[in-house]
Every structure is written in structure tokens, then in C-alpha cells.
């Protein structure tokens, strides 16, 4: 499999779409991905009732989303590097259109687990492919566009949650999710030709021209740290996505529409923050945006988890959305600038562990400490993300890349310098080693390997 993925591929024929048209198609993919997530988030309480699952059982079922996504992300990154992000994104979009319908058809907990496993695999592939396409566009245009693309994801989530809230009052989980999948197929049919054409003329090899210059020297440790930053903040997004509605409905006795509004407030605030993300980065720097955003998210989640009323919790969710708005896209964009599609896959795998693994963990904590206390872990991890952001700075990344490049160059020069000496003196050194071996045998030593030639008397005199 690795041989097939690493083998160069000829460029596709066909006209390359304009950057504006390609950016529109990628933004539409992000928006659709968000709409799917928002639709699923709004119907989690109804699906939970449909299968008769407890909080702990729901947490275990949600773990299947994590397993499916993590299993597909590394493969999706390798396929993006080999086949192109546009093709992988198009195929993955079709798969998620099918997978989103499965949870609504589940009637038992095992069926729900199997459905969420497929849903997670499709979601992971779409996320890696969409982020890889966005990173490539950002590198080609030399301007920050990742916050804007993730804003499209948030607006899509807002729309999906709003429609899901209305559908929740009408019932019919299966019908609603089937409609989401059908609309997704139509959207994919419209944007897939543009996404695939965006890969035209792209020569994929071991070191693609579209990949960043320092991709081969990007330290894996720094990519993992960037993934941890994304994961700590995505933990909060996953918590609000899967548990926010239940917190409002069960802890604060909110109506179904008000419960769905929790994720909507979070998505709206996050979308607005991401629309301003590029301007904030240019004005204050990426590190300040990462640290201050993490701190704001930590404060907002404490307010939402310990709120005395649903209105205060909604305000807290909005603060979390504003704080986390640009943390995840900036971390993934920085990983893509360092490691290309495989860097995006690695950081996304670590990052989406928080997004997809956080809800099951909260589900396990609910049984022991209760839902409000379990949600406060979001604040803790947001603070950790702020601290890690002080480490994974662009300057440190540049230093790592330069040091790695200098070491590689020094190693190549050393090998080139030693090669003539090895060729010239190697046989002579081998003969002297054989002579020493024979001399040791002549002195009565034991366990000496068999010599490769006979020791002459003159040589023995010189060696003694």
C-alpha cells in the first residue's frame, strides 16, 4: 500500500479552475461538513431516546465516532498526498452523505454504535481532505484563508442546528437525516468537478511542488504539539456539540428549541470570530490570538457549566465560540505549512481526538461527578492549549526546520567527504584487521573467527 501511495502520478488533464471558483467550492465543502455536524448535534437527544441509551451508554456509542475518524484520517492524508485533496474530498463527501443517515435508522445501541463508526470514518476523511485543500489554497495565495474556511464550517453548523431544532419539534429523526444526506448529494455533485479539477497539473511525488518548502524537515514533535493545541480546543467543541443540548434540557430545564439554540449560539459566535480571524492575526499575531482565545474559552465554559439559568449558559457558550474560533484553524494551518498534507493528517488525527474523543470521556465522567462538573474539563484543556501555544510559535518552527536542514546538509557533506577515503583505504584496513585476527590466533586465544587469508611470517614480525 505504501509503495502505491508514494509512487508519482501523472497530472490530470483538463482546465484548472480559477482560485476564486476553487475557494468557493472548498468553502461550500466546509459549510456542508458543518451542516452535517450541526444536524447530528441537534438530534442527539432524540436519537438517545430512540435507542433508550443512558448517559454512559451514549458516551460509549459516541466513542465509535472517534474510532472511525481516527482510523480514516491517516489514510486520508496519504491519499491526499498521492491522489489530490480534491478527489479525496469529493469521494469522502459522498460517503458522509450516506453515513449521516445511519444514526437515524438505528433502533438499538449496537446499531447506533455501528452507524456512528461509519459516520466517524466519513467525517474524518472529509475533515482531512477539506483542510488539506484549504492549506494548499492558502499557500498558493500567500494570505490567511483558513479562519474564513472554518467560518463557513461554523455557519454550516449554525444552519444545521437551526433546522435540526425545528425538526426536533416535529419528530422524525430518520426523515430529517435522510433529507440532509439527499441535499448533500446534490451539493457534492455541484462542487466535485471543481474540486477534482483543482488537482489538475499537480505533480504528486515524494516531495510534491505544492507542498511547503520545509515539509520534509518538519519535526514530528512540533506537529504533535500543534495537534494537541487543536485537540484541547476541539474537546470543547465536541463537548458543546454532543452534550450542550442535554445540559440545557436536563440540567437547566430548557425547551427543545432552547436546547438546540445552545449549539446555534456557539456556532454563530465561532463563525463571527472566524470571519475576523485574518484581521486579528494580522493585527495582533497568531500567538496572541491563540493564547487570549484559549483564556476567553476557559472563562466562558465555566460560566456555561455552572450557570443558574439557560440564558446565562447560552452566553457562556457564545464566549466559548468566540474564544475557540481561530485556535483550531490556526493550529492546522501551521501544521500544513510545516508538513503538507501529511502534516495536516497528523495534526488533525491528534486534534480530532479531542473533538471526537471528548464527548465519550464526558459521558464517562457524568456518572461520577454530574454533567455540569464534567463540562468544566473544557476550561482546563482550553488553558492547556493556551500554554502550549507559547511553545509552538512560528519562530520555533523555523528554527526546527533550519536546524534539521543544517543537520541533513552536514550529514550529506560528511558522507560525500568520507566516501573517497573509504573506497581508497577500505581494502587495506580490512587486510590489517585480518592480520590482527590471525595474530591473536597464533598467540593461543580462543573463539577467534576463521581468517579470510593466510598470515605470512613477515607480516607476523611487523605485527609483533
Q: Are 319 and 307 in contact (CB under 8 A)?
A: no
pLDDT for residue 212: 46
Residue 230, Ramachandran bin (φ over 0: left; ψ between -120 and 50: alpha; else beta): alpha
The CA distances from residue 131 to 44, 145, 201, 287, in Å, are 26, 11, 20, 20
Q: Are 48 and 363 in contact (CB under 8 A)?
A: no
Cell of 247: 445540559
pLDDT for residue 364: 82
Which residues, at least 6 apart from 144, have a Cβ–Cβ distance to it below 8 Å? Answer: 138, 277, 278, 281, 282, 333
Q: Are 129 and 149 in contact (CB under 8 A)?
A: no
| Spatial separation of the C-alpha atoms in residues 172 and 167, rounded to whole Å | 7
pLDDT for residue 140: 77
The CA distances from residue 292 to 147, 267, 395, in Å, are 16, 19, 19
The string of DSSP codes covering 375-407 is HTHHHHHHHHHHHHHTTS-HHHHHHHHHHHHHH
The CA distances from residue 342 to 151, 266, 275, 330, 413, in Å, are 23, 30, 27, 16, 28
| Spatial separation of the C-alpha atoms in residues 67 and 366, rounded to whole Å | 21
| Spatial separation of the C-alpha atoms in residues 454 and 364, rounded to whole Å | 74
| Spatial separation of the C-alpha atoms in residues 295 and 297, rounded to whole Å | 5
pLDDT for residue 368: 81
pTM above 0.75, yes or no: no
> pLDDT tens digits for the chain (464 residues)?
444 444 444 444 447 788 888 889 999 999 999 899 888 878 888 888 888 888 778 878 877 887 888 889 888 888 988 888 899 999 999 999 999 999 988 888 889 999 999 998 998 899 889 988 888 888 777 677 888 888 888 888 878 888 887 887 776 888 899 999 999 999 999 999 999 988 774 543 333 434 444 444 456 788 888 889 988 888 888 888 778 888 888 888 887 778 878 877 887 898 899 888 888 888 888 888 889 999 999 999 999 999 888 889 999 999 999 999 999 888 888 887 777 777 888 887 888 777 767 777 888 888 788 888 999 999 999 999 998 888 876 555 555 555 556 556 666 676 666 666 556 666 666 666 566 555 555 555 555 455 444 444 433 333 33
Dihedrals phi, psi of 9, to nearest 5 degrees: -125, 140
Let me know the angle formed at the C-alpha of 311 by 307 and 314, rounded to the nearest 5 degrees.
80
| Spatial separation of the C-alpha atoms in residues 81 and 90, rounded to whole Å | 15
Cell 482560485 -> residue: 19
Which residues, at least 6 apart from 340, have a Cβ–Cβ distance to it below 8 Å? Answer: 81, 135, 208, 210, 211, 212, 215
Cell of 122: 466519513
| Spatial separation of the C-alpha atoms in residues 178 and 309, rounded to whole Å | 34
The 10 Å Cβ neighbour count of residue 139 is 18
pLDDT for residue 209: 38
The domain made up of 16-198+212-392 is a member of CATH 1.20.1250.20: yes
Residue 401 burial by CB count (10 A; 0-12/13-18/19+): exposed, middle or buried? buried
Cell 464526558 -> residue: 362
Q: Are 439 and 451 in contact (CB under 8 A)?
A: no
Cell of 173: 429523526
Q: Domains of the chain: which residue ranges?
A: 16-198+212-392, 407-463
The length of the chain in residues reads: 464
Cell 581508497 -> residue: 424
* Closest among 367, 372, 373 to 252, alpha carbons compared: 372
Amino acid at each position: 500500500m505504501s509503495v502505491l501511495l508514494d509512487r508519482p502520478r501523472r497530472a490530470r488533464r483538463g482546465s484548472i479552475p480559477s482560485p476564486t471558483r476553487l475557494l468557493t467550492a472548498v468553502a461550500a465543502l466546509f459549510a456542508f461538513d458543518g451542516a452535517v455536524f450541526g444536524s447530528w448535534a441537534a438530534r442527539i437527544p432524540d436519537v438517545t431516546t430512540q435507542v433508550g441509551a443512558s448517559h454512559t451508554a451514549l458516551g460509549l456509542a459516541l466513542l465509535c465516532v472517534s474510532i472511525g475518524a481516527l482510523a480514516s484520517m491517516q489514510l486520508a492524508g496519504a491519499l491526499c498526498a498521492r491522489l489530490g485533496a480534491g478527489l479525496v474530498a469529493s469521494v469522502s463527501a459522498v460517503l458522509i452523505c450516506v453515513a449521516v443517515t445511519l444514526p437515524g435508522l438505528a433502533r438499538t445501541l449496537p446499531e447506533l454504535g455501528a452507524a456512528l463508526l461509519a459516520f466517524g470514518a466519513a467525517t474524518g476523511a472529509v475533515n482531512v481532505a477539506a483542510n488539506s485543500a484549504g492549506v494548499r489554497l492558502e499557500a498558493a495565495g500567500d494570505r490567511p484563508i483558513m479562519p474564513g474556511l472554518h467560518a463557513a464550517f461554523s455557519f454550516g453548523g449554525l444552519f444545521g442546528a437551526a433546522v435540526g431544532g425545528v425538526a426536533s419539534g416535529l419528530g422524525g429523526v430518520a426523515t430529517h437525516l435522510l433529507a440532509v444526506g439527499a441535499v448533500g448529494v446534490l451539493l457534492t455533485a455541484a462542487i466535485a468537478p471543481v474540486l477534482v479539477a483543482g488537482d489538475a497539473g499537480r505533480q504528486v511525488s515524494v516531495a510534491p511542488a505544492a507542498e511547503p518548502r520545509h515539509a520534509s524537515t518538519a519535526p514530528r514533535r512540533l506537529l504533535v504539539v500543534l495537534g494537541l493545541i487543536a485537540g484541547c480546543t476541539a474537546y470543547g467543541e465536541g463537548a458543546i456539540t454532543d452534550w450542550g443540548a442535554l445540559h440545557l434540557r436536563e440540567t437547566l430545564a430548557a425547551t427543545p428549541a432552547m436546547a438546540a439554540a445552545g449549539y446555534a449560539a456557539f456556532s454563530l459566535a465561532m463563525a463571527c470570530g472566524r470571519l475576523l480571524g485574518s484581521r486579528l492575526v494580522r493585527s495582533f499575531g497568531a500567538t496572541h490570538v491563540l493564547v487570549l482565545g484559549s483564556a476567553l474559552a476557559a472563562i466562558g465554559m465555566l460560566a456555561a457549566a455552572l450557570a443558574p439559568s439557560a440564558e446565562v449558559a447560552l452566553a457562556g457558550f457564545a464566549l466559548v465560540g468566540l474564544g475557540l474560533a481561530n485556535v483550531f484553524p490556526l493550529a492546522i494551518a501551521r501544521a500544513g505549512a510545516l508538513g503538507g498534507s501529511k502534516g495536516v493528517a497528523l495534526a488533525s488525527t491528534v486534534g480530532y481526538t479531542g473533538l471526537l474523543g471528548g464527548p465519550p470521556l464526558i459521558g464517562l465522567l457524568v456518572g461520577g461527578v454530574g454533567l455540569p462538573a464534567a463540562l468544566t474539563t473544557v476550561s482546563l484543556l482550553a488553558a492547556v492549549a493556551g500554554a502550549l501555544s507559547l511553545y509552538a510559535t512560528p519562530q520555533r518552527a523555523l528554527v526546527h526546520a533550519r536546524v534539521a536542514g543544517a543537520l541533513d546538509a552536514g550529514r550529506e557533506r560528511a558522507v560525500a567527504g568520507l566516501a573517497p577515503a573509504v573506497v581508497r583505504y577500505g581494502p587495506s584496513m580490512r587486510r590489517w584487521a585480518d592480520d590482527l585476527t590471525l595474530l591473536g590466533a597464533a598467540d593461543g586465544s580462543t573463539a577467534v573467527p576463521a581468517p579470510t587469508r593466510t598470515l605470512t611470517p613477515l607480516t607476523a614480525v611487523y605485527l609483533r
